[in-house]
Structure 1
């Protein structure tokens, strides 16, 4: 059944009949030129006959191909009468000479030419209405039957069957005649009577248009119950985080066209046929589109998404923190519109305009155009808005939603009337991609321009480091999408603000390098070189953790982790050299036996006093410093203890041995080993 419907739809197309008529004319003319009838009439071929017949054939074929042009003239009575007379004269002459030469049995070429000319006449009757097409069809069918009977009278059945098939085929389609049945009487109608008839036609058409509106409203009334059920499903979909998953089967169940009564559909189809048959196809399409468009836009605006509230002018005025909810609602509304509402309108147009594909395409576009533009305007406003980095992830959400809908746009809007909507969707999609690339550039500039000269307290982590690394980790969730964006950008670079060669890897690497440069500049602000090293260690440790605990390690360049590990080790060594190496310098023991014992004692007393002062000062200062990572803090303290405590124990033991027996050493030895450990435990607490 579906195949039959497709065949019927195919046969309704004017273009099909145009080329079918052209092909039939060519076959008929060629076969007639080869037939015995032609030879009996005109004799053997020569160059002049070939030339004249070729010109004649060219004219006939040209007339067949331009049959649609006659349609504009065929409403003129004088044109119709004169053209019908011309065809009548030609067929009469053909019939006269044909009867003279067809005393014997016709050959196969004559049969084929008659059948081909009959099909050509049927084609003409489907394209224009000059008043002779049906008569021409009957003439050639009659010729075919007569020729078959001359061969063998039983072949009458074949000829009659073929003729009956063509006549039934023609009668099964709606008539395209635009004039009353009594065309013979119209030859004598005067101008004022014609004017009266035109006025009467306007009244009839107006009545038909009103009937059309009534039928369309009936469709919407029949569909109301299903719509209310659909809204209940949508309410649940819009209120939670669920996804819209629709298979082809339950898509049909969501908004059934079957819910519309067959009587309503039949009434609408008949009304449309009547209006189109009197030449008001565009008016018919316009009225239908107006009714359905208002219904569709009201449904979308009232129940799904307030397009007027979120117009291009208003979108960029909304604070960015408040636009997340509208974006989520837009994404869901777009899916409902493109995957459910628009396909339903497409099927409905094809149904009610069955046999008028051009009107169906035009009506569908007019119905959906306004809603589609509203949807795309919201996305385009985001694409053309601010390039601030915090917008990236919301723009990515819209980009991904539109990317997933592009195939639906391409399948829905593929005819000549709606192709501009498909192109507009693709353009907005590309603009979103450009906006994403531009936001990356803006992020890079924001890091570079963060030129604060104030040192952070205690070498703490800069807010921009935390912001950038968390930002890059979130980017990992959109990795595949961003790779697509940058790949497309590489192929279509037309923005001077964006690098001409880029990829996600390149952009991430650039951001990391700019961040490193920023940190190096900030480290120079500190007056204490040891504190500068602690600041850089904090940063490197945080960066390494974020890279290792996410997909950043897979996206960034292979040597990124090694670079930051090397920087961390270098800064730790510099920290030791600039602080604790100075402390342990005072704990070195002079083993030169030539030096007198009293001089050794004096030297060790001075070293111990210097150690006590420097150790006290370093512990006091570095207890106000802060190491973010607790494990790193513990590792640094353990490393200091391993170097300091053994050296301090050896020094104290030697100091006690060189002091005179019985002398009080407590006033020189200020810290026991446990005291040293306790003071080291207070380091990097930020207090």
Structure 2
């Protein structure tokens, strides 16, 4: 008797049976509903258009029921939520109109359609896990009970009994995992009943005859596999560098005998109709291995909200572990799992694909969640280099994602990885836009003492130099994701002849220069304004020249800004020293008496001494960071000042009225003038902050 019951149970568990039952039930239900009075009340009499539309609708529903297995392992929570909402809306509308028009007793077609739809949804719940099929099952069972009660109140017992039978049958499908009859033992005394229970926390295998059952063999093989997992994990913790250098290490470390035994057991259980149950046991074992690997690598299991609550220091520390874990997972662990699944489930490719996806999915989603949290997190400019590291890691691993997650079950993981990789690229662009805003909003609060380097200049230039070390990555980001600057003037012209990254850098330089020009206007002394601009422009050119930034901006950009420095130099000289040079010029004709000439020259010399003293005193506190620029300015002043001063003094000595009293008016010899010029732009204690250069 037990043997017959087991055979009947195994027959009821066959997927093909429930696919056929569901398909037939859908046809019967749709046909009966089309002939029912409730359809006529709701939609009116039949016509050609209604017949055509209902036929198409019925065909679609029947095909969905027939091929519903393709949804079996959908991991999309959004799909389930949308499906549940759609079912709720449709059933609510149907109930409202049905109650409104159905005042009389329902006919037999309505009863049959509800019963058939309930059986159809029972079949669908055996093959899918989308959630809405259970809600619809309860809905049609409820409709059946209500319609039977409208015919006669006592028929409630019939409807409730049918509903109870359907619900208990579905509950039995979910609660009893496996009942295996060992067909290899032909004698009645060798019959044994085996139950495998898969628990989310631990794997429990029980059997009425452990010594001879198939499940004992499976238990032993799983234990052996776990032991090998432990050995591999120990090796992973001791020398992950060795493992990375040998991608086949893990598959080699698993004994061939253990894999072959698992394959034989899988073949027996799949043939007996217990494919899912063996797969669950296998998945549980392999997931334990991956979780332990993740723990060994120090990578914590966090959701996106948890990650976004971490400090940036914690995120940077986690990023290093994430990079290590991602490379090891995609290059070593997952390929090993793929090969192992293919060998254990050889001949059952669909089961191999599904098992591989279930083994790797949780681990993969943890890695992707971390990357996603960084991609959608703060666009603060100090995060650029960490996001670039993550972007480059994802970029290098995309081929592995495409190679490993290519089947129907795991394709969503590949798509998710690609989506997050693109998000990281968008985050990089967003960070550059944040940098632009930082420059725009850096208002001048106080003048930099001595016209030295402004902190924004040092920060931006060092930031861009460091960023351009990842030039190839940045070019890929800006080329692949388009350019955000088209709304700005003259950008289109530059983009036509330059790469997007070049345009981006050029635009940031333009913003920085505009910002510095605005800051230069704080200085009341026009000459100091140009010293400030010379300093900062010189720093910008120097930082660009000896880095990738310079090659991005181009030689023409360097030449243009070198010429700008010369223009600032000329303007400085005009605003500062032209007055001094003017004092050394003496224009007079023979009509002026000698005493008048002497008086004019004495006055000019006195003014010169006073203005020159004042200039040297003030400009010795100004600061030019670059020694070469400082020397160039000093030499340019000397070339104009010293010859003019010597010529003036020679003429001054030749005036008879001055004569031997000339020394009384002369404060500086030529050598002393030169010495004072050497003290210019050395900076004072008040401008030490501007002296720092990096």
TM-score under structure 2 normalisation?
0.65
Q: 1:231 to 1:615 in 2, by over 3 A?
A: same
Which consecutive residues of structure 1, in runs of 5 or more, have no partner in the other structure? 1-13, 15-65, 73-177, 183-196, 238-243
Q: 1:202 to 1:331 in 2, by over 3 A?
A: closer
Task: Show the 5 A alignment for 1:636-675.
Answer: 636-660=633-657, 662-675=659-672
SS at match of 1:435: helix
Q: Is the 8 A contact 1:544 1:561 kept in 2?
A: yes
**Is residue 2:393 matched to residue 1:389?**
no
CA drift of 1:611 comes to 0.4
Q: Is the 8 A contact 2:429 2:477 kept in 1?
A: yes
Distance between the aligned counterparts of 2:672 and 2:222, measured in 1?
Answer: 93
Task: Show the 5 A alignment for 1:304-453.
Answer: 304-308=297-301, 311-321=303-313, 323-453=315-445
Q: Is the 8 A contact 2:583 2:607 kept in 1?
A: yes
Distance between the aligned counterparts of 1:533 and 1:311, measured in 2?
Answer: 54
Identify the residue that residue 153 of structure 1 maps to in structure 2: none
Identify the residue that residue 597 of structure 2 maps to in structure 1: 600
Q: 1:515 to 1:638 in 2, by over 3 A?
A: same
Distance between the aligned counterparts of 2:290 and 2:181, measured in 1?
Answer: 37
- Cα-to-partner distance string for 1:26-62 (whole Å, 9 max, x where unaligned): xxxxxxxxxxxxxxxxxxxxxxxxxxxxxxxxxxxxx
Task: Show the 5 A alignment for 1:193-342.
Answer: 200=193, 202=195, 207=207, 208=214, 211-234=217-240, 246=245, 250-252=246-248, 254-255=249-250, 257-301=251-295, 303-308=296-301, 311-321=303-313, 323-342=315-334
Identify the residue that residue 511 of structure 1 maps to in structure 2: 508
CA drift of 1:674 comes to 1.3
Identify the residue that residue 526 of structure 2 maps to in structure 1: 529
Q: Is the 8 A contact 2:181 2:191 kept in 1?
A: no
2:476 to 478, 484, 495: 484
Distance between the aligned counterparts of 1:369 and 1:269, measured in 2?
Answer: 22
Identify the residue that residue 122 of structure 2 maps to in structure 1: none
TM-score under structure 1 normalisation?
0.66
Distance between the aligned counterparts of 1:607 and 1:203, measured in 2?
Answer: 111
Q: 1:626 to 1:318 in 2, by over 3 A?
A: farther
Q: Is the 8 A contact 1:213 1:288 kept in 2?
A: no
SS at match of 1:665: helix
Distance between the aligned counterparts of 2:216 and 2:358, measured in 1?
Answer: 19
Q: Is the 8 A contact 1:212 1:288 kept in 2?
A: no
- Cα-to-partner distance string for 1:440-462 (whole Å, 9 max, x where unaligned): 11111110111123111110111
Q: Is the 8 A contact 2:182 2:192 kept in 1?
A: no
Distance between the aligned counterparts of 1:587 and 1:355, measured in 2?
Answer: 103
CA drift of 1:230 comes to 3.6
Identify the residue that residue 106 of structure 1 maps to in structure 2: none
Q: 1:213 to 1:441 in 2, by over 3 A?
A: farther
- Cα-to-partner distance string for 1:653-678 (whole Å, 9 max, x where unaligned): 11111143653222211111111111
Task: Show the 5 A alignment for 1:443-482.
Answer: 443-482=435-474
Distance between the aligned counterparts of 2:336 and 2:518, measured in 1?
Answer: 61
- Cα-to-partner distance string for 1:336-392 (whole Å, 9 max, x where unaligned): 111001111111111111221111111111111111111111111111111111111
SS at match of 2:664: coil
CA drift of 1:229 comes to 2.9
SS at match of 1:658: coil
- Cα-to-partner distance string for 1:398-434 (whole Å, 9 max, x where unaligned): 0001100000010011111111111111111011011
**Is residue 2:581 matched to residue 1:589?**
no
Distance between the aligned counterparts of 1:206 and 1:487, measured in 2?
Answer: 60
Identify the residue that residue 81 of structure 2 maps to in structure 1: none
SS at match of 2:482: helix
RMSD, aligned α-carbons: 3.2
Q: 1:215 to 1:548 in 2, by over 3 A?
A: same
SS at match of 2:654: helix
Q: Is the 8 A contact 2:375 2:427 kept in 1?
A: yes
Identify the residue that residue 559 of structure 1 maps to in structure 2: 556
SS at match of 2:453: coil
Q: Is the 8 A contact 2:380 2:431 kept in 1?
A: yes
Distance between the aligned counterparts of 2:335 and 2:482, measured in 1?
Answer: 35
Q: Is the 8 A contact 1:222 1:259 kept in 2?
A: yes
Identify the residue that residue 150 of structure 1 maps to in structure 2: none
2:541 to 539, 544, 548: 544
Distance between the aligned counterparts of 1:339 and 1:211, measured in 2?
Answer: 32
Distance between the aligned counterparts of 2:191 and 2:656, measured in 1?
Answer: 134
Q: Is the 8 A contact 1:540 1:568 kept in 2?
A: yes
**Is residue 2:613 matched to residue 1:616?**
yes
Q: 1:294 to 1:633 in 2, by over 3 A?
A: same
Of structures 1 and 2, the larger Rg is shown by 1
Task: Show the 5 A alignment for 1:122-137.
Answer: none
